[in-house]
Amino acid sequence: MPRARRLVVKVGSSSVSGDNTGQIAALVDALAAAHARGTEVVLVSSGAIATGFPFLGLEGRPEDLATQQAAAATGQNVLMFRYQKELDRHGIVAAQVLLTAGDMQNPTHRVNAQRAVDRLLALRVLPIVNENDTVATHEIRFGDNDRLAALVARLLGADALVLLSDVESLYTRPPEHPDAEPIDEVPFGDELAGVTFGSVGSAGVGTGGAGTKVAAARLAAEAGTSVLVTGTALVDRALAGEHVGTWFQAAPRG
């Protein structure tokens, strides 16, 4: 991980919103340390909707699409402000990049996104990518940014992708199960036979779970990007190269 030339880090809604907003500072410190040693860092951050709904007077995640879009528009602004405030301590400028799954499928949009992010990285700016939830429809209701992060990693030819959540690693069963055991490493092509994953995020805030992270990890690994799945609280250790989380080996690059 410390030798990675280009690194994509994804953080989930539950890790940077609500009671966990304070984790943004530690996350930024870890990203800044990697940035300082010359690594090109891209952050894929969920959390716009979860950040926005308290400002709209809502007690929980809205169910209707229009209110989700309104919360996303409000929360994205606040989320970027919070990131930039912490990045200011390190003299790093953030750039907002909003994408949809359709952008990644459209050749023209995809090339434009790649060119823009490549240029931002060359300028030593830290791109912060999120789903464009204000115009997205299906993605808000059923998707998760794990897949977006994998697509971004593939688009940019990243050496490594780090998927952060509220658990330290993947387990053979849901973590609360008494027989659950942590998974240390997943060789490329391993089907993880006999492993059972949950399918939803924590506390009803996020939309992803272990299953989406495995699917995203495989998508990135197929393109030659190694993937680490671990907890947001361990991000500093992860980016420093310590042995934490679940490591997905990448396919050899041709």
For position 134, what pLDDT does the model report?
85
Radius of gyration of the chain (CA): 17
46 is in an annotated binding site: yes
133 is in an annotated binding site: yes
In this predicted model, what pLDDT tens digit does every residue of 106-157 receive, in sequence order? 999 999 999 999 999 999 999 999 999 888 765 544 357 899 999 999 999 9
Mean pLDDT by 10 residues, the chain (254 residues): 96 93 97 97 95 92 89 96 98 96 89 98 98 72 76 97 93 89 93 73 54 93 97 97 96 82
For position 73, what pLDDT does the model report?
95
* 12 φ/ψ angles, rounded to the nearest 5 degrees: -90, 165
For position 9, what pLDDT does the model report?
98
Tell me the three state secondary structure of residue 191. Answer: coil
| Enclosing H/E stretch for 149 | helix 145-156
Contact present, 157 and 193 (Cβ < 8 Å): no
How is residue 154 written in tokens? 């593939």
97 pairs with which residues across the strands? 129
For position 198, what pLDDT does the model report?
63
| CATH number, domain 6-248, options 3.40.1160.10, 3.90.1150.10, 3.40.50.300, 3.40.50.720 | 3.40.1160.10
165 is in an annotated binding site: yes
For position 101, what pLDDT does the model report?
78
Q: Angle, to 10 degrees, between the axis of helix 107-122 and the axis of helix 145-156? A: 70
Separation of alpha carbons 145 and 160, rounded Å: 16
Residue showing tokens 């996303």: 72
106 is in an annotated binding site: no
Where are the chain's structural domains?
6-248
In this predicted model, what pLDDT tens digit does every residue of 173-191 receive, in sequence order? 988 888 899 999 999 988 8
166 is in an annotated binding site: yes
Q: What share of the chain is helix, strand, coil (3-state, %, to 5)?
A: 45, 15, 35
Separation of alpha carbons 17 and 22, rounded Å: 8
Tell me the three state secondary structure of residue 70. Answer: helix
